[in-house]
Amino acid sequence: MRILVTEDEDTTRKLLTELLQKSGHTVTSARDGREAVAALERGEFEIVFMDQEMPGMSGIDATRAIHQQQAPGGKRPVIVGLSGNGTETDEKLCLAAGMDAFLAKPVRMGELFSLLAVLARRSQPPTSDQVELVPQGSYSDNLAAHLLRATRGNEMILRSLVKNFLADAPKKLAILRRAIARRDAEALASIAHALKGSIGLFGAQKAVAAAEKLQSMGREGAFDGAKKEFRALEDEFKSLRRELLALKVGAKPARKRTTRRRAASRPRRKR
């Protein structure tokens, strides 16, 4: 199927894109609602994964724009909402805007591919109650097992996921620290939301909870306790980082020096 993944958070977007491509789908990605609408003007897609909250144009506004641009009687793609909040209220907002289904982030791979299987069998966009998803399970308390399940056992994608996360998360933490120091509520809410989504992929629930609290503080413009919550988030990230590095998923295999040592140990021939 031709799929458009619209997600502003780099780690989640790359993971979804790579998993879908490995499964044989043709995938295009967009970083916000405007890019998604533009991509739909250029080409046809059967499914659009649409993040609810994005800077610039949100997924809600983009979905409404897609409906407005649809020609009478024309066929439009199935739009699947993605949300890091995952509440019933958020689901209702997405469906009311014209999305056809809803997945909470971090997206469970079983849910994702169950949904794709359902959509592949249907020619018409489903309503929310038509989509039967695999029930959400709890995270494995073994990080390696959890990541292999999240990446469907693909070690190459796993390495890419960890590498991108470890490169990107410290930058977001630095932006969060500055946002708190400057009492920038908008930046605090936006970056905390993005960080919550990427950390959630690794099942670090304490870190997710801290990011969610910071997101709420940003939305409410309440900075009391923000520094304390940021320190908690930072500590949880450091712990997760140590676990990820201990997995050595990004380590390059050591060069073999056997041949060189053997060559060095051979006696020189006398001429």
Confidence of residue 268 (pLDDT cuts 50, 70, 90): low
Give the CATH fold of the 2-130 domain: Rossmann fold (3.40.50)
Please give the Cα distance from 9 to 20 (Å, whole number): 17
For 160-180, write each residue's pLDDT tens digit: 888 888 999 999 999 999 999
Given this model, what pLDDT does residue 26 score? 94
At the top level of CATH, the class of 143-247 is mainly alpha
Please tell me the predicted confidence (pLDDT) of residue 126.
42
Please tell me the predicted confidence (pLDDT) of residue 23.
85
pLDDT surpassing 90 at residue 115 = no
pLDDT at 103 over 70: yes
Q: At 24, list the tokens.
A: 């044989």
User: pLDDT tens across 119-161, in order?
Assistant: 776 544 444 433 433 333 333 347 777 777 777 777 888 888 8
Would you kindly state where each structural domain of the chain is located, as residue ranges? 2-130, 143-247
Question: Nearest-CA neighbor of 23 among 120, 166, 121?
Answer: 120
